[in-house]
Structure 1
Amino acid sequence: MQTFEKTITVSKDDLDQLNHVNNVRYVQWVQDIAEAHWLKNAPKTILDNYFWVMLSHNIQYKGEALLGDELTVKTFVSKSEGLTSIRHVEITNNTNDKLIVTSETKWCFMNTATKKPARIPTEVAKLFD
């Protein structure tokens, strides 16, 4: 299973009124890493004809991050079959080496022309093996 990751440094804009990273920001980072992974792996012919929509999202908050903390956001796809794919994201606080967020998201593969769900072709599923 292929992983994709990026590093983020917590900025003032990421914080809530308690000076912790806002929960909504974590959700945005989950969305952003999924999109970045997709755009990195999918060829233009696939990108022009298909897109993903989120069907369900489960996130668990296990710790906190503060201003200046360096975070690693890592993602991988555990399953792609039929019309849907399951993507996982883990966010680790590199400042103290603790896992602070996990998420599991179910995505539906969509045809750009019809705006309807489409079967995930083998070539797309293999992009994330």
Structure 2
Amino acid sequence: MQYYEATLTVNKTDIDDLDHVNNVCYVQWVEDIAKKHWLQNAPKQIQDTYFWVMLSHCIEYKGEAFLNDMIRLKTYISKSEGLTSIRIVEFFNEHTNKLLAKSETTWCLIKSETRKPARITQEIKNLFLK
């Protein structure tokens, strides 16, 4: 299993009426880090042939994040079979290492040419097993 990490700083547009990070931001961050992980690992030929769509998303909130907090995102693929992959993203406060949230998202591989679901090849699985 291969991990991919990134950090971000909470900015004013991420904050909601309760003065903490809006839940919608976490979903956007899941999408952003998944895309970065894919682009880093997949060769251009594979990127041109396939793309991913989010099918379902579950997130558990464990703590709050506030303006100017540094957040470390850690992601990995926990399972890939058939047409779908399960991606985990964990959100940590960079300074305290406290887990703030954890998401589990099901993604479906789509063939660009047909825009229809495609079976995940062993070559694609291997991109995330390094």
Confirm or deny a common fold (TM above 0.5): yes
Q: Match of 1:16, SS?
A: coil
Please tell me the residue identity of whatever aligns with 1:52: W
Structure 1 residue runs of 5 or longer lacking an equivalent are: none
Q: Does 1:99 align with 2:93?
A: no
> SS of 1:38's equivalent?
helix
CA distance in 2, matches of 1:50, 1:16: 35
Distance 2:116 2:97 in 1: 42
Partner Cα separation in structure 1 for residue 57 and residue 75 of structure 2 = 14
Q: Does 1:56 align with 2:69?
A: no
Report the aligned-residue RMSD.
0.8
Q: Is the partner of 1:32 in helix, strand or coil?
A: helix
Structure 2 match to 1:76:
76
Aligned residue pairs total 129
Deviations 1:27-80 (A, max 9, x none): 110110001100110000000010011111101111001111111011000111
The residue aligned with 2:23 is 23
1:65-112 CA-to-partner distances (Å, cap 9, x unmatched) read 111111101100011111111100000012332100100011111100
- 92-101 or 81-90: which moved more? 92-101
Q: Which stretches in structure 2 are left out of the alignment for 5+ residues?
A: none
Instruction: Work out the CA distance in 2 between the residues paired with 1:120 and 1:97.
Output: 34
Q: Does 1:125 align with 2:114?
A: no
Cα separation, 1, equivalents of 2:51 and 2:111: 7
- Output aligned runs, 1:2-17, within 5 Å: 2-17=2-17
